[in-house]
Structure 1
């Protein structure tokens, strides 16, 4: 939600003191974090301490489906005992082939990940220079914190989409406290520097409109 990663190194260190299995849901880390994109465990240098590693194909790979990785015995157990797996259909073969190709690209074309981080830094640094709070994000997930109501959040994201051609999701109460809004931006390697600059400019404009009360009236998305 906020782009932070959690203290996975400190959590992994507890395995020396307590007997437990470590499961990591790495939806936003897989393909992005770590020296070669192997995710949050690689980022923190604790891959060997992770017993089960979960990720989705819907983020980095822009597909459907997901994966669960671990020791063979654990995966075999899950395959035959996990209720949701037993009654699930297999992924279409075209999706599997697409995922394998994307995995190959992640391994052989690190410049794609480097490009993503370049765009991410430009966006996040630009937002901060423009006076926006983006919290403690450590990933491309870029939350922009504003004050406002749910009604204002809906009107604001509609304005961004229809006036500026920018899509972002809004997080409001009850996920966060009343009176607060989180606008969630996630850049990609396909975005350009011009896209980033236009986004920052648009955010400055809608933030000014928000402060002026322009989004107080209910609208439909």
Structure 2
């Protein structure tokens, strides 16, 4: 049994994982869904890491999953806890010294025109789940957006990247390029859109479980 540490993306919350976590438990694993202190104007990367470490407690055999902006935090946990595997899901992959606010221009991200935020973020998610989402979104005012990413190099921990084939926010072609440019290997692919943990929770759980069995 592994413990999956599920780190939400920008403006998100533990709710983002509420469909995936039970599927991982059903497969015999544990799941931890920390809330990052994104509403605290003084909170930076160190505070983010403390929130994750506190949520993990004494659990071990850790697989850290960072969704979207959560990819800036996920690798940092490997410097504080014994991490077995890092999985980046539809991610913003950081570079050493890069400020999150600079990521967009540095990767050449051009945005998506003509689509609402709902269409970009929740494509393929059931309508009843989309209707719940606004109650669980949070304004992100924390300080890490202007902090250089603190690692000098990527952690010496096995890392996998999962892009979603129907992602309208970070299109698959864009993330394939960014992954190969920044990590030097191609990503894996899964069905679904940007919020794949809400649209395809069982398929995602099976893929995460398969990484451990490989």
Fold shared, TM-score > 0.5 on shorter chain: no
Higher alpha-carbon Rg: 1
TM-score, length of structure 2 as denominator length: 0.26
